Chain A
Amino acid sequence: MAVESDVLDELHRIRNRVPQLTGSLAATVDGLVLAHDAPGTEPEGLAALTAAALGVAHRTAEATARGGFRELLLRGADGYVATYAAGPAAVLTLLADGRVNVGRLHLEGRRSGARIGELVADRIGQGRGRAPAAEHVTSPAAGARPIDTLPVRTPQRPAHRPSPQAGAHRRPT
């Protein structure tokens, strides 16, 4: 269970570094919550929505040959939602108000994403004894969808796997 607390520590750290952050969430690419620090939002719902957005992002990147997923930025009238890749198996989603320094948000988000990716990769490495980094190279060879074959983690709260997202990141094979 060490990964959850390490990831949560990382979320607290980024919260301290970016004052305009209103919430943060680390989730697996298939929409399960790893850790969250987002008062006032429902983490399961946000993780599920993130997974859905990732599915579209993956396919868009693939269709336009932009390479593997790195980040998503959404700007609403009152703030930002940014999602950063955290290794091949997880993502980091940050919620920020409209006055946030986006440059800094990117710097901290990318750094934290990489850190969380390492934490998750360590755990997967122990469990499976294979190199998850190879999956970062999204290529036609990834016909076997790495996303779905990753070990599913036990979420912090009673799991309900959001059904609309089940096929969201499926690519035509």
Chain B
Amino acid sequence: MANLETSLKECLSSIDGASAAALVDYTSGMALGTLGGGKEFNLEVAAAGNTDVVRAKLRTMELLGLKEEIEDILITLNSQYHMIRLLKGRGGNGLFLYLVLDASRANLAMARHQLRRIESELEV
């Protein structure tokens, strides 16, 4: 089991091409923890904006009558990947991990696999 700081550090150190990571509470849109980012990439803005993404998807699924859960969401930009992974169980309800990857350096399958592992070990 790993705590929040350790998990965020592991996101950036063990996932190739990762440049920023955050744990976000999508009931409020605020980040519980952030790492990386900086002036040119404001993770507070990203947390609030991606909260709307997650909420929109959950609501769409509800309207469609899908009794499923979101495992992860992948957003592909020209030069970046953004990954959202929802936390399951252990008080992690209502939280997601958000990861920014450099598309030219990242291995998408590996990144997704690693993020799943980090998420399963995270204790909030």
Contact = CB atoms under 8 A, between A and B. Distances in A.
Chain B interface extent, by class = 10 to 19
Contacts of B31: 103
A29 B24 CA distance: 33
Contact of A107 (B24, B28, B44, B55): B44
Contacts of B48: 101, 103-104, 106-107
Interface string B15-37: 00000000010001111000000
Interface SS of A by simple majority: helix
27 contacts: A101-B28, A101-B29, A101-B48, A101-B51, A101-B55, A102-B28, A102-B29, A102-B30, A103-B24, A103-B29, A103-B30, A103-B31, A103-B44, A103-B47, A103-B48, A103-B51, A104-B29, A104-B48, A104-B49, A104-B51, A104-B52, A105-B29, A106-B30, A106-B44, A107-B44, A107-B45, A107-B48
Interface of B: 24, 28-31, 44-45, 47-49, 51-52, 55
Nearest to A75: B28
Contacts of B52: 101, 104
A-B pairs, top 10 by smallest CB distance, nearest first, are A103-B29, A103-B48, A101-B29, A104-B48, A102-B28, A103-B30, A101-B51, A102-B29, A103-B47, A104-B29
A13 to B, nearest CB: 17
Given A102-B28, A102-B30, A103-B48, 15 more contacts: A101-B29, A101-B51, A101-B52, A102-B29, A103-B28, A103-B29, A103-B30, A103-B44, A103-B47, A104-B29, A104-B49, A105-B29, A106-B30, A107-B44, A107-B45
